[in-house]
Every structure is written in C-alpha cells, then in structure tokens.
Structure 1
Amino acid sequence: MTDLVPGRRRARSGAPSRARRAAVASAAVGGTAALASGGGSLAAAAYFARRIVTPDRVRPDDVVVLGADATSVTLGTNPETVVPGRYGLWLEGGAGHARVGDVLDLDAGAGRVRREVLGIDRGVLGPGTARWNQYFHGSPPDESLGLPTEHVTVDGELGRMPAWVVAPEGGPTHRWAVLVHGRGARREETLRALPPLLAEGWTCLVPTYRNDEGVPAGPDGRYALGLSEWRDVDAAMELALSRGATELMLAGWSMGGAIVLQVLDRSERSDLVSRVLLDAPVVDWGDVLAHHARRHHVPPPVGSLARLLMRHRWGHRLVGVHEGVDLALTDWVRRADELHHRILLIHSADDEFVPFGPSLALAQARPDLVEFPDWRVARHCKEWNTEPERWETLVREFASG
C-alpha cells in the first residue's frame, strides 16, 4: 500500500468560507458544528478522505542505488532498506527488476547499506534510483517461479478482469485458492503463497479488481475499501466454480484482507470457503485512518469529519465517490461474532502502515476461529520477507487436510 496522506495541502482559494464549512457540517450531521469550528475544516477533511479512496497512479522511485557488482548492491539507508529479509528492486521505471537478500554491511552514519544480490531478472542494476519491491517477485508466476500459468479473464460487473490460474502438478484440482492483493499493489504481491498452496494441492487463482492498473475502473474511479471490490473477487470465485472447484480458500494482503472479509459477509458463495489466510489485513479501516491521521498531524476533528463525508450522501461529491463508504462495516473487531470461517492471521507487531492492534483484538475475540502467530520485525506485508521458511510452513500446515 502506498502512503495514504503524502502531504497536506492548503485549501484552494475557491474553497468555502469557515462559516459556510461550519454551517454545512452542522446541517449535515446535526450537533457537530464543533468539528468544523474546532479545527476540522471541511476542505481539509475532504482532502484527507480523497487521499484514502484515490488510487495512486504514479509510483516514484524511493531508493538510491549507490553502486553494485555481481554479488552485492549498496543502497542509501531508509526504513525499508535496512530491514532484514528478501526484497526486490524495480529498476528503470519498472522495466527492470532485481532481487536482493540480507544486509551484508550497514554504515548508518554514512547512510549506506550493502545487501546481497540474489538475481537480476531484467534490466541493469547500477547507480541511480530504484523503487523498493516488497513482493520480491517482479513478474507473473511463469516468469518469476517457472510455474505453468494460464492467463484468463474474469467476467465481472464492470467488464473483463485479467487473472492468473496456476495449477498443481497433475492439473487443476477441486480445491481453489483465490489470492487478493492490497491497495495500490500488484498481483505479484500474492505469489509468495503459491509454493506452499500448490504443494498442498490447491489450484491458485490470482485475480485483479476494479481500479487496478490496466483494468476497468469503478464508476467513480475510487476505492471503496472493500465495500465494492468484493464483487470482483466474487466473480473470480464464480470462475473457479465453473471450472470444477468445490472448495475455496480466500487469501488477502492488506486491503485485500478487507476485501476478503466483505466477501465472507456478502457473497452467496461464502459457504464454499473452508478457510481464510490474511496477511497484514485491514481489520478495521477506522483504526487505519486514525493511525495515518496521527502520523500526518491531522487534527482528530478533521479525521472524524472525513469519515462522515465518506459515509453520508451529502459528502459524496466532496470526496468524489458514488457509493457511500461506511467504515463501520469494515470493523471486524466489532463484528467478530459474525465470522464463521477458520482464519490464519499473520500480522507483524512492527507493521508501520496497518497497525496490528485490531488483528490482535480479533484473534482475542475469536480464538475458536483465528490462529494468530506472534510476529516481529517485519514491516507492512513483509512477514514472508523476513521469515520465508516459517511463513510458508504455517501456510502449508493451514492449507493441508
């Protein structure tokens, strides 16, 4: 997931006056004019809400490559480049890709870290800039993992959505796993799950959903944080059933987890789901928004007003959405009693982007359903990166039987 609030901007000169903003907020939510007058301007709240639901079309380089040879690469230090584990680097604006391993040397004072080079898939790794790739893999399964891959399309309500189908050795089985990537991510994010799932006989379906790059956008071009995207995953489940699936597993990373939870709640096919894998999931969008508001010094009244704008019809035009985004529907700690599926929930306590508190609270609320292994060190959606063998063992054991 990309940063929800990359920077605060001044309201445009044409924005409503303070009095008008307070009047609108008061009229809309009744008794909450204090939100506007107490620092929560309508313009700031609308901007915050828009950042949450707007896809990031441009992904700039975020890593400085200081030098490289056949076995190692020296990078400028930042919170990502100094964390142990396996990662990738997008090179040449995404045209190239390299895979890097553990830290070999760290000179924090000089701002330099040297890491092992595990392979250069395409392009040239040399001085310049690059973009960190937490997926490790940078291509479809046939290129990244050497797995025979069928490129198919899912007929969704918005049109044809590309997907990958990867079957175990011997061909497709009756057990299908549908793997759902996160907000602003690519399908390659899910490839880390393929080896353990294939080993246990699961045919893997990796779909896209609305507002992904190169696929049909939603009517408003905005994310609904799982509240509409679930229908695209539901269509992928229907494809699996049409091709012989009788048992389904759902897996979701980050916002993909939020999407999966909505599928379980809303899909007529959810009874065919036997188990669910969640990696650093958004269990409560309200908690995520509050976290990012604090990180970016957004006053609490602004964050509260942003939630109201997203939910109520009067705020839809300001946020740019056609459907309301009711964050209360995404709070699965509060809705824990409504869950009925076995869940393996992997979420690092050191996740800087989606705090693991709601995941822990959900596990504590439903110990009968939720397996929640202790995980440390890994940043957002990077549990596999820091401990790949442990991650794959947990997933394989959960997928067996």
Structure 2
Amino acid sequence: MQLLRTAVTGTAIASAGSVALGAAAARRLLRPAPATPPESELVYATEQDVPGTEPDGIARTHVVHVHGQSIGPQQVLRGLRVWRSLGASSQVVDTTDLPLRSLDPAAVDRVAAAAHAARARGAERVVLQGWSAGALAASAAAARTPVDGIVGVAPLLDVRSALRGAVTSARFPAAVAIVAARIATTPGLSRLAGVPYPLTVTRWQDDRTPTLLLHSTADALVAEPDLAVRRARGARVVTFDHARHTLEWNEDPERWESGVRDFAAALG
C-alpha cells in the first residue's frame, strides 16, 4: 500500500510539474515579457527609422511589416532598407497592445485591413513581410485578402512544432510540449498562460501566394519537415547556417537583402 501511495504521489507531482512547465512554455509564446535585445541584434540607426508609413503616400509596391512576439515593432526595421532601395513604401503593424500580440485574431484583422487599404489607395503590388509569429499572421491575412507576396523571416509555420523545438532545446521532457500546445489552444486552459482566450491560428494558412522564407538551420522553432512542406508547395527558401531565431539578417545582411530583391523581381 505504501508503495502504491508513493507511486500515486510521484505521478501527481510529475503531472503538476508538466502542467507548470507547459504553462510557462505556452506563456512564453503567447504573452512573452517585452524584450530589449542588444542593438547589435536590432541594427537600426536613428529616430527616422521609427515604425510608421513611409514615405508619405503609397508607392507602386507597398509592404506591410509585422513583428513577432517579444521585441515589438522595432524588430522589423532591419527589413525596411531593402524595400526602400526598391522604391517601395512600407507600413509597420503594431500588435503589442493585443492579448496574444501577433498571434491574436485581431492581429490578422489589422494586417488584412492594412493590405486592403493599401490597394484602395493605389498600390499595384502589396507584400506582407512578417517576422516569426508575424509571418503566421501574414499567412492568415493573405488567406483572407489577396496579396502579391509574403516574406516570412524565421516564420512560425506550426505552433506545435515550435513548442516542441523550444521544449527540446530547453531539455525538458517531450510531454511538456504536448501540454503547452493544449494550454495554448484550449478555452479556459489558456488562462494558465496568462491570456484570456486561446490561440486559433496554429498553422500556416496560405498556399496560393508567392512566398519567400528566410530561415536558419540553427532555429529550433522552425522544424525542417514543416519547411519542406512549404518548399514543396512552391515557396522560395533562403537558408542561413548559424543565426538564432529572427537573426538571419544579422548573419549575412547582403545575402538576406539579395534574397528579398530576387523575390521582388520575380513578382514583376
């Protein structure tokens, strides 16, 4: 009997530990603490680079930029220069006020609305450029509002795969990723992650739009099988070797921007 009690107690403790770790993993994805990375990671120069719509008005090509979960709008500033050099106008969508940030359903609404408004104002070509979770939001917006291209930087292709990668890299038991995914996507349980409602978009949504994916093989959050699916469905992939998540530009700015230029040229 004592042995049975010990086994039951051990199982209960292990289960509670998995839930706690799963909740922490889900919270880090859905509602991470705002991060201020070193300037060497952001690489933006002056106040003139602050997000907004620039230049005034809409160019023939208009790019809607969407940041990921932790850093905020300044994350995308590394991606503005190449579009400026191509004569495009740019707009940065800020989702930091939303409960799930760029994974929030309202984030998709904002991106789709920005794309629709740019077209209404005369843009002949609209491109969505998203970083991490912002890329997933861009794919969902493109499934709703036709656009001419998607650029995904360290794209969050599948939330469950990303959680598995995060848990594995942290050397936690694989079961923690399963618990985290359940918490992130289940009404009520999502409150364990500090958010009022669950994630609804968990996988890449668009198959019809020309797509460029900028990806590092060192990025644990982007699974190679998910990337292979996107490649098989026509996405261009530019691969980097050593960059951590969303730092592909920092590894090789010239190659990063060349990949975007080639993609833009292919759009016509």
Q: TM-score, normalised by structure 2?
A: 0.81
Q: Does 1:311 align with 2:185?
A: yes
Instruction: State the alpha-carbon separation in 2 of the partners of residues 321 and 45 from structure 1.
Output: 14
Against the structure 1 CA distance between its residues 375 and 359, is the aligned structure 2 distance closer, same or farther, given a 3 Å change threshold?
A: farther
SS of equivalent residue, structure 2 residue 69: coil
- Once the two structures are TM-superposed, the CA of residue 250 in structure 1 deviates from its matched residue by 0.5
Q: Is the 8 A contact 1:345 1:373 kept in 2?
A: yes
Q: Is the 8 A contact 2:156 2:162 kept in 1?
A: yes
For 1:196, the equivalent position in structure 2 comes to: 82
SS of equivalent residue, structure 1 residue 323: coil
| Aligned amino acid, residue 203 of structure 2 | D
For 2:24, the equivalent position in structure 1 comes to: 47
Q: When you count helix as a share of all residues, which structure comes out higher?
A: 2
Listed as ranges, the matches of 1:245-284 within 5 Å are 245-265=123-143, 267=144, 270-271=145-146, 273-284=147-158
For 1:15, the equivalent position in structure 2 comes to: none
| Aligned amino acid, residue 48 of structure 1 | A
Against the structure 1 CA distance between its residues 38 and 294, is the aligned structure 2 distance closer, same or farther, given a 3 Å change threshold?
A: farther
Instruction: State the alpha-carbon separation in 1 of the partners of residues 250 and 52 from structure 2.
Output: 22
Q: What CA deviation, in whole Å up to 9, does each residue of 1:78-115 have, x standing for no partner?
A: xxxxxxxxxxxx7xxxxxxxxxxxxxxxxxxxxxxxxx
Q: Does 1:176 align with 2:62?
A: yes
For 2:214, the equivalent position in structure 1 comes to: 346
Which stretches in structure 2 are left out of the alignment for 5+ residues? 1-6
Against the structure 1 CA distance between its residues 274 and 238, is the aligned structure 2 distance closer, same or farther, given a 3 Å change threshold?
A: closer
| Aligned amino acid, residue 240 of structure 1 | A
Against the structure 1 CA distance between its residues 395 and 224, is the aligned structure 2 distance closer, same or farther, given a 3 Å change threshold?
A: closer
Instruction: State the alpha-carbon separation in 2 of the partners of residues 316 and 391 from structure 1.
Output: 36
Instruction: State the alpha-carbon separation in 2 of the partners of residues 374 and 46 from structure 1.
Output: 32
Runs of 4 or more off by more than 6 Å in structure 1? none
Q: Is the 8 A contact 2:150 2:212 kept in 1?
A: yes
For 1:399, the equivalent position in structure 2 comes to: 264
Q: TM-score, normalised by structure 1?
A: 0.57
Higher deviation after alignment, 242-251 or 42-51:
42-51
Q: What CA deviation, in whole Å up to 9, does each residue of 1:209-259 have, x standing for no partner?
A: 1xx2xxxx33xx344735442122223224423433243101011111111
Q: Is the 8 A contact 1:40 1:300 kept in 2?
A: no
Instruction: State the alpha-carbon separation in 2 of the partners of residues 325 and 46 from structure 1.
Output: 14
Q: Is the 8 A contact 1:199 1:396 kept in 2?
A: no
Q: Does 1:56 align with 2:33?
A: yes
Listed as ranges, the matches of 1:313-332 within 5 Å are 313-326=187-200, 329-332=201-204
For 2:55, the equivalent position in structure 1 comes to: 167
Bigger Rg, which one = 1
SS of equivalent residue, structure 1 residue 201: coil
Which stretches in structure 1 are left out of the alignment for 5+ residues? 1-17, 23-35, 60-89, 91-130, 145-150, 152-162
| Aligned partner of 2:113 among 235, 257, 260 | 235
Q: Is the 8 A contact 2:165 2:223 kept in 1?
A: no
Q: Is the 8 A contact 1:348 1:376 kept in 2?
A: yes
Instruction: State the alpha-carbon separation in 1 of the partners of residues 217 and 35 from structure 2.
Output: 29
Instruction: State the alpha-carbon separation in 1 of the partners of residues 216 and 191 from structure 2.
Output: 37
